[in-house]
Structures are given as structure tokens and as C-alpha cells.
Amino acid sequence: MAGSPLAMFSAAAQTQPAPLADKPFAEHRVVLQLSDSDAKKEGLVISVAYNLIKAYDPDRIAIEVVAFGPGIDLLRTDNANRQRVESLIAQGVKFDVCVNTLDTLERETGKRPEIIPGAIPVQVGVGQILSLAENGFTLVRP
């Protein structure tokens, strides 16, 4: 089943996205960590991303939200904030979802969580944060 969505998702997760590949001229780089399943923290991450877009030229700021552990709940298809997340994606904000977390949930529950299509699979969420920090991103944990 090489053409199945799950196979394509797994193949995409094998490599971490290259930092700054789509915003090479960004003057500001922020990675927002979301590792909690909490509506207030989800709202805060979304607000911070929106505020950064308003404060800076969207072409001059790179914003990446990395969700892992319970934080992946923000990226579930049934999350109340789905439209807001998709709006941010349309404005150039990246949302990464940890594949290790998805694998763990699938092992524990027998079902893989449904994630919004715009989320970018990364094998290790914390590894993605480290990679971004090593490439000039400032880590913010709202």
C-alpha cells in the first residue's frame, strides 16, 4: 500500500523539514513549543502566532509550532481551534506534529489520531526544536 495516506505520512516523517527552507530572508525566527493538552495553552500559542504576524512583515518572520506529547491535541481534526490553525498555516506558520507521539498513541489505543492535513510530520518533536534552535530560532514556550 505504498500510495496510502498512512504510507505517505510515514515516508514524509522520515526526514525533518529543513529549517528556513521556505523563508530564507526571515529576520526573526520563533519556535513555539506545545507539549500540553490544555485549551488555555493552545489558545495562547495561537494568539502568540497571530500577534507575531501582526507585529512583523510575514515574509520577515518564520514561526514554527512544534507539538509533541499531549500537545498534539491542537492538531487533531476534531479540535475546536482547527480553523484558526488552518488560517495560520495559510499565512505561513508551520505546525509540526511528532510522529513518535502518534506511534505511541496508536500502540496504546489501537488507532492513530486523525491530524489536520496541514500539519508537518517530524519524527521527534524535541529533536525538531533542537534543530530549529541550532539554526537561529528562539524557543518560546507560552
Residue 12 contacts residue 124 (beta carbons within 8 Å): no
| Residue-range domains of the chain with CATH | 36-140 (3.40.1260.10)
109, pLDDT greater than 60 = yes
- The confidence score (pLDDT) of residue 58 equals 83
The more confident residue out of 11 and 118 is 118
Checking if the pLDDT of 98 tops 90, the result is: yes
E strands along the chain, which residues?
28-34, 61-67, 94-98, 120-122, 138-140
Nearest alpha carbon to residue 80 among 124, 42, 118: 42
In angstroms, the CA 63 to CA 45 distance is: 11
pTM to 2 decimal places: 0.85
pLDDT of residue 21: 60
Kind plus residue range of the DSSP H or E element containing 126: helix 125-134
- Between strands 28-34 and 61-67, the pairing is parallel
Give pLDDT tens digits for 47-92. Answer: 999 999 999 988 899 999 999 999 999 999 999 999 999 999 999 9
The answer for residues whose C-beta is within 8 angstroms of residue 2's C-beta and 6 or more apart is none
Helices (H) then strands (E): counts for the chain: 5, 5
Give the whole-angstrom CA distance, residue 48 versus residue 107: 33
pLDDT for residue 12: 42
State pLDDT tens for residues 9-47: 444 444 444 445 677 788 999 999 999 999 999 999 999
- Please tell me the distance from the alpha carbon of residue 115 to that of residue 102, in angstroms, as a whole number: 9
